[in-house]
Amino acid sequence: MHVSRHGTGLAAAIRALASQIHPVFMLPPIAASWFGAVLAHDLSPSLAALHMTAAFFALYTAHVKDGYVDFYIRGEDDDHPLSSGGAKLALTLSSAGFFVCLLTIGYVVDVWAALLTLPGWLIGYLHAPQLDMHALTTTMGYPLGISISLLGGFYVQTQTLTLPVFAFAAVFLTILSGVKIIDDAQDYDYDRSISKHTAVVVLGTTRSRRVAYLLMTLGLLAILGLSALSVFPKSAILAVLGFGIVALFARRAGPELATMLLIRGSYVFLALLLVAVWFRPLG
């Protein structure tokens, strides 16, 4: 069986398999897992690495399945590096890797830690062709995966969940859902032509853009309020400033540039929250 569509041999197979590692989309959920571990303060690096590895396999599964569906089933993509058999092999290996991590988490932590980790793979595997055809699940699927990764990263360290960690997960879900709507605006014409009901298709470009920035604004305001109530450290205000400035520039840009700015702004946002939680520079 040839793994690659564009060559034979081990090197071609490795290149094809590696092509499904998309750092831009993989980094946020893996970083969210680490952020959850950091919230625990007295973290175990080995447990953090185990949970982040599970998140990696879940994301890899999502990318392989999405590419397979778009090329071999929907005919949306012009090319795909993996053969049909190679894609199925990659799905099998990544899913096996995830469930090895899941069983290990269940054994070394507890069954609740495993159950909290499992939705990451379910969201990834079901993203295409099930979840990505409906406005709510298209918009919230990826952000929800990030929020669950944060909760799981915390739980495997502490065997509990607290108000601050739930609040951080809710803020991530709200802000990143807004970013996802802007991202989906890039494919408005095509999604509309195939009756793919993203939020942009359902609401229209103007209204969906307003909803997107409203969600981001609500998330940032929630951080300010929760910082004032000492649920979040006061230093979290720095993350609001960092992402808020990026969002102001993105608001004046088209969907493609706005998405690029907001995704990179999300990295800055998460980095500043990590600094706020770990170092507490404002006390």
Q: How many domains is the chain built from?
A: 2
Verify that 84 and 186 share a domain, yes or no. Answer: no
Verify that 168 and 63 share a domain, yes or no. Answer: no
Rounded to the nearest 10°, the torsion over CA 135, 141, 144, 149 is 180
Verify that 197 and 273 share a domain, yes or no. Answer: yes
Q: Is residue 143 in a domain? A: no
Verify that 23 and 78 share a domain, yes or no. Answer: yes
Q: Is residue 252 in a domain? A: yes
Distances from the Cα of 164 to the Cα of 42, 137, 232, angstroms: 16, 25, 7
Q: What is the CATH number of the domain that holds 23?
A: 1.10.357
Q: Is residue 146 in a domain? A: no
Structural domain range at position 251: 162-283
Verify that 119 and 19 share a domain, yes or no. Answer: yes
Examine the fold and report which residue of 90, 111, 131 is the final residue of a domain before the chain moves on: 131
Verify that 16 and 98 share a domain, yes or no. Answer: yes
Verify that 174 and 243 share a domain, yes or no. Answer: yes
Q: Compute the distance between CA of residue 50 and CA of residue 125 in angstroms, rounded to an integer.
A: 20
pLDDT in tens, the chain (283 residues): 689 998 888 999 999 999 999 998 899 999 999 999 999 988 999 999 999 999 999 999 999 999 999 999 988 888 999 999 999 999 999 999 999 999 999 999 999 999 999 999 999 999 989 898 889 999 999 999 999 999 999 999 999 999 999 999 999 999 999 999 999 999 999 888 878 889 999 999 999 999 999 999 999 999 999 999 999 999 999 999 999 999 999 999 999 999 999 999 999 999 999 989 887 776 5
Q: Residues 13-38, buried b or exposed e (16+ Cβ, 10 A)?
A: beebbebbeeeeebebbbbbbbbbbb
Phi, psi angle pair for 82, to nearest 5°: -95, 140
Verify that 168 and 277 share a domain, yes or no. Answer: yes
Verify that 120 and 183 share a domain, yes or no. Answer: no
Q: Compute the distance between CA of residue 62 and CA of residue 124 in angstroms, rounded to an integer.
A: 4
Verify that 1 and 120 share a domain, yes or no. Answer: yes
Q: Are 115 and 123 in contact (CB under 8 A)?
A: no
Tokens of 250: 């993105």
Q: Is residue 136 in a domain? A: no
Q: Is residue 155 in a domain? A: no
Verify that 61 and 177 share a domain, yes or no. Answer: no
Q: Are 171 and 222 in contact (CB under 8 A)?
A: yes
Verify that 209 and 127 share a domain, yes or no. Answer: no
pTM (predicted TM-score)? 0.94
